[in-house]
Structure 1
Amino acid sequence: MLSVALKFKSVFSVYKEREPHYNHEPSSEDWRKVEKICKLLKVFNLATHVISGDDAIEDRDSFMREMATSMKEKFDKYWGECNMVMSLACVLDPRCKLHVIKFCFPLIYKPEHVAAENVEKVKNTLQEMHDEYAEKCHGETIISGVNTNSLVASSNVVSSEISGIHEMLNMVREKEAIHPTKSELEVYLDESAYIPEGNSKSFSALEWWKNNSLKFKVLSKMVADILAIPVSTVASESSFSAGGRVIDGYHSRLNQESIEALICGGDWLRNKYGLKKKPKVLEQKD
């Protein structure tokens, strides 16, 4: 709006001359501020910089410093903490791995050491999740092994030839119990990023993991849980207005997880069944 207004800057003064009741013509100081504000807001159209706070916050004009500081505070409120789920999903995309967050985080988080800390935070979280899933998968293997032992033991009564199979299974189990020098996560991250052939738009990360599930038994299970999370976006203003419908006087004691589940669940169900929200006028009448 401001950039369009700048193109018609001379129209305001002409309109002032023709319309005696027009008392809102911007002054030369106003136009100077508009030009500076447009220069700052233009940065939002660039993917490399979300906000040019370092220059604007140190501007000589106090009104620019105050505005840029306020914008930076709101920006840090939403992005100050790393969006972990989105970052993990990005790393588990075989086309991206760690390369994308290492490129994007320095553009989002300033100074450089903060970006490096967030990269390490993602790597540590990924490792913790992998260890948790690996322990769970190992427990399932042990239970399966116990069942095999009982079956083989009962078979020994029937035939002495099964004893050889029993010894062989024990040997295989001992070999499998020896952990490899590298974990699945380390192997995955050390390998080169996958470059799909042909049209990359048709690439499915879940399909890739399904095809590589024998190689990455633990990671494929972890990926199935993370990449299956539905992604939805909503304007911050819409979230607050929806909060009034969900958190009324009777639900004011709901915890954060329950509120999030109600809002997200309602949004997903409306999208699934093609339902539309009521207009605000109807909501107020109800």
Structure 2
Amino acid sequence: MASSIGERLALFYKVTELFSGTSYTTANLFFPKVCEIKIALNSSFTSPSDMIRGMAFKMLEKFDCYWNVIHGVMAVATILDPRYKIELLEYLFPLIYGDEAENEIQKVRDTCYEIIRDYTSGRMGREGTRGTCVSEDPQVDDSLMDFEKYLSQKKKGGNIKLELEHYLEDDLMPRTLEFYILAWWKSNGPRYPTLQRIARDILAIPVSTIASKSAFSTSGRLLSPHRSKLHAKTIE
């Protein structure tokens, strides 16, 4: 029993080391490990041990509160890794969602489009009013101004899809340890200018606001030599 529990907790130890914050890991590495945890917790429900199944249920209940909020942004960060892109989602999501995998992948793809649209509209706003100008000539018919706006939005939407689709259609980069994703986006920015701006912001998102070592070390302040006999419920 102890060895079985130890094997399952070993994954959490490895992920905690990766997410420790001291090595300043970029956000593209978070999602595969978080998916690995979710898959491991799901598989624990098939364990013959009632204790392991009970532990998995409580852990998954708390884990899903985090997963439901953050997995979309994490998936976008993984898509921005040219070694993984959408293919990693196509591999992992069937293991997590089963028959609903395609719908979940489409949700992430839609999130990508939405983020690109936000960045594009923000850039256009900073550039000022360089678009279509309203003529002051009273003889000019302005009844088709909405049509001009429609054409502008249609062109913008097409550019959004083109940049993302071109990126996704390119071949994956080899999975090597000496791959520096920030350097890759710096050199490939001219090809994908909007995606480069998104990568610059999203890849810098930390998985935690504090290092895990600092979080776990708080137990030393709670369980001092004078409080070594406190009940577990009292400590919580």
How high is the TM-score relative to the length of structure 2? Answer: 0.56
Match of 1:155 in 2: none
Aligned counterparts of 1:40 and 1:239: Cα–Cα separation in 2: 20
Q: For residue 9 of structure 1, what is the aligned residue in structure 2?
A: none
Instruction: Identify the structure with bigger relative contact order (alpha carbons < 8 Å, sequence gap 6+).
Output: 2
Say whether the 8 Å CA contact 1:97–1:189 is kept in structure 2. yes
Determine which of 60, 71, 96 is the counterpart of 2:56. Answer: 71
Correspondent of 1:189 among 165, 168, 187: 168
- Hey, what does 1:50 align to over in structure 2? 40
Report the residue type matching 2:59 in the other structure. K
Larger of the two Rg values belongs to structure: 1
**Mapped partners of 1:240, 1:38: distance in 2:** 25
Specify whether residues 116 and 75 from structure 1 end up closer, same or farther in structure 2 by C-alpha distance, changes over 3 A only: farther
Say if 2:115 is the partner of 1:136: no
Residues 73 and 225 of structure 1: CA distance in aligned 2, closer, same or farther (over 3 Å): same
String of CA shifts for 1:209-260, please: whole Å, max 9, x gaps. Answer: 1212222121111111111223447559937959xxxxxxxxxxxxxxxxxx
Query: Which residue does the alignment assign to 2:111?
Result: 125
Letter in 2 for 1:69: G
For residues 104 and 88 of structure 2, the distance between their equivalents in structure 1, rounded to whole angstroms, comes to 13
Distance in 1 between residues matched to 2:119 and 2:106, nearest whole Å? 20
Q: How many residues align?
A: 176
Match of 1:230 among 194, 203, 206: 206
Q: CA deviation at 1:124?
A: 2.1
SS at match of 1:112: helix
What CA RMSD, in Å, does the superposition of the two structures yield over aligned residues? 4.2
Asked if residue 103 in structure 1 is aligned to residue 91 in structure 2, the reply is: yes
Residues in 2 aligned to 1:210 and 1:76: alpha-carbon distance in whole angstroms? 40
Q: 1:217 aligns with which of 177, 193, 213?
A: 193
In structure 2, runs of 5+ residues without a counterpart are 12-32, 134-150, 227-236
Amino acid corresponding to residue 119 of structure 2 in structure 1: Y
Q: Is the 8 A contact 1:137 1:218 kept in 2?
A: no
CA–CA distance in 2 between the matches of 1:39 and 1:231? 28
Measured in 2, the distance between the counterparts of 1:284 and 1:137 equals 58
CA pair 236-39 structure 1, distance change in 2 beyond 3 A: same
CA contact (8 A) 1:209 1:223 kept: yes
Identity percentage of aligned residues: 25
State how far apart, in whole Å, the 1-side matches of 2:110 and 2:225 are: 48
Whether the aligned pair in 2 keeps the contact of 1:53 and 1:69 (CA below 8 Å) is: no
Shift in alpha-carbon separation, 1:195–1:116, aligned structure 2, 3 A: same
Measure the CA separation in 1 of the matches of 2:213 and 2:178.
Answer: 31
Structure 1 unaligned runs (5+)?
A: 1-33, 150-173, 243-278
- 1:87-141 C-alpha deviation (Å, 9 max, x unpaired): 221110111101223223344x2x5135444433322221210111122223344
